[in-house]
Structure 1
């Protein structure tokens, strides 16, 4: 979004809405009204009035405030995605939420919607009949069915999970939310041009936890559980069951377990965890689910969290995935296509890419010939 266009936009945006977003972004940035005021050269009372919606906001002020708070201009002036608003106003959320996560999912959903409207991302087809499984068996069957749709066999690990999610229409951003921060969230981004999903996960968590979180959000997206009013309070548990069976299918886990039958139980568990890139808790939980270890063995193993040296001792290594600031490859490709097609400015595409590239790394834009311009002009004249 260009600053030159802001005057007309701000004039049509509710001052209270902008003020609310200013307050939320400031809080998420860990800044006081006084510190923001000093950073942009205003009195503290001016920030107070802006956040209350009692003062007109000037374009240069918004540009400065957005820079200080580390947010793009679009976050403050564009109409939020309805599903993001619903998520914020829900009386109880199924999983942990913080203001930072809410802001990140708001912003990413806005960006995904913008790419859909520009024709750079396409809408996804989902099974309208899909509902949250009501049993662990049903969750496993759903995971098996989805793996089959993707062309995955019954034993292989899921590689490049972010790209896999894109095939179902779910785009991902891994944000820096802190090691002890919330796991993630996803929402529906619906527009006349199509419907896709936007997920934000905690890119500061461990790799296995990141993968489980994204697989969990994929379950939310596939089952459309926000609209499944018949779902029980156990729906989160069932979606987690889907996620672990999707990442670590029964036949695959049993195969690795059997191949390491001469090793101690803990080493066998380590081999399973690395093969399917699971967190330790998810690994021992799935081994118990599949009756490969007892409850007592599960409790013992869960307390013996492995260290890096435990894996290296066995010649095992992790493939780090979904680290902050990860973006789905298809999302990045859409951004860069928009730039080369001159649908997105340099400043806009760099903001969308969230620091993944700098200006010197952007593709070169081919100079357009007079014939190209003539054809474009004739096309618009239609």
Structure 2
């Protein structure tokens, strides 16, 4: 659906300008427009021309379709409550673009399938967060021992499509939004792989507990165990490090005579988590003391460890990453000539070039009658 009235368009422009930190005078000067004219545009008293809109989009670093397409309802409802992206406008723009593109593809792809699952009740404490992780692992067809290997592929089976883009060190860890069918998440690919996986697991929590729209600034930094985000973080750690599987492997390594460092390096590799996440998990399920937790956080896996311990070197959600079901959907609508090559590469976030797209067969002249 497109934005057609001047008031809505003006509101979009004002919101994007505010988010970029520019004043009306700044933006008006940058696009060679009088400030009073820009004020009228933002108030809905004057229509904006296509050329003016293009200049505004370029100056504010937005895509034109953001101004002319309806924002997904979940994002609208969030914005009616509070200013979005105050902490990380970069990821805020990224999740909006992902939501737009996924909705665009899903509405045109007859084969788009999103599994329908019942949302889980929100955990009220740490014990319920642990129990929710067990339920989630069951939905993901995982037992209480096996590591969660490919988070993006596994989560897509539940309807959550996870994308990863390098948004820089100052952007938030992750963001997610519920759509009419399923949901989408964006993980900051600038993070180390362990943090990327934790952020994705955290967003799965938002998805399963039906949080409409979320931007997580620094996953794993929540200090209050009674806070909602801290409970989500507990859920994410338990999802990646199931207590049964973790204690079993830890006991086996201890029986072999491995010291603390060797155990941590091997367990971290097997379950594909960073040392900070592993330390918190070991402490919270009572396997090590707080003092040992500080030692674990300081451990760094070396190249020698990888060779001598024959470790797995994971690369989940290495940026840029697009979920395979989404790529397949874009290719289907391209093959049906619903989008141009340029639009297809745009939907693929410019991670593909036009040369990467399949060659479409030439249609016979008689095919014109199908269109008529």
Interval containing the TM-score (normalised by the shorter chain): 0.7 to 0.9
Q: Number of residues paired by the alignment?
A: 356
Structure 2: where are the runs of 5+ without partners?
214-224
Match of 1:256 in 2: 249
SS in 2 for 1:80: coil
Counterpart-to-counterpart distance in 2, 1:249 and 1:157: 8
- 2:114–2:158 CA contact under 8 A, matched in 1: no
Q: Distance in 2 between matches of 1:344 and 1:54?
A: 34
Listed one character per residue, the Cα deviations across residues 289-337 of structure 1 (whole Å, up to 9, x for unaligned) are: 23221222113322x1425447436443521121332222111211121
The counterpart of 1:149, out of the listed 139, 148, 165, is 139
SS of residue paired to 1:342: coil
Check conservation: 1:15, 1:54, Cα contact below 8 A: no
CA distance in 2, matches of 1:136, 1:372: 62
Instruction: Summarize the Cα distance change of 1:25–1:351 in structure 2 as closer, same or farther, 3 Å threshold.
Output: farther
What TM-score results when the alignment is normalised by the length of structure 1? Answer: 0.81
In the alignment, is residue 87 of structure 1 matched against residue 82 of structure 2? Answer: no
Output the CA distance in 1 between the equivalents of 2:39 and 2:320.
32
Cα shift readout 1:357-376 (whole Å, capped 9, x = no counterpart): 011111112223356554x4
Aligned equivalent of 1:135: 125
- Distance of 1:68 and 1:355 partners within structure 2: 20
1:272 is matched with which residue? 267
Partner residue of 2:324 out of 312, 323, 329: 329
SS in 1 for 2:179: strand
Task: Say whether residues 1:16 and 2:6 are aligned partners.
Answer: no
Aligned residue number for residue 103 of structure 2: 113
Q: 8 Å contact 1:335–1:352 — kept in the other structure?
A: yes
The superposition leaves residues 123-160 of structure 1 with CA deviations (integer Å, 9 ceiling, x where unpaired) of: 441214x2112233332232222222332232222122
Match of 1:103 in 2: 93
3-state SS in 2 of match to 1:172 = strand
Contact 1:21 1:76 in 2 (8 A): no
**Structure 1 residues 77, 343: CA separation in 2 closer, same or farther (over 3 Å shift)?**
same
Contact 1:18–1:53 at 8 Å: present in 2 too?
no
In structure 2, distance between residues paired with 1:17 and 1:347: 29
Deviation larger for 252-261 or 60-69: 60-69
Once the two structures are TM-superposed, the CA of residue 207 in structure 1 deviates from its matched residue by: 0.8
Q: Tell me the TM-score normalised to structure 2 length.
A: 0.82
* 1:188-199 superposed matches below 5 A: 188-190=178-180, 195-199=181-185
Instruction: Tell me if structure 1 keeps the 8 A contact 2:130–2:238.
Output: yes
Q: Structure 1 residues 31 and 345, CA, compared in 2 at 3 Å: closer, same or farther?
A: farther
* Structure 1 residues not aligned, in runs of 5+: none
Shift of 1:267: 1.9
Q: Calculate the aligned-residue CA RMSD, in Å.
A: 3.3
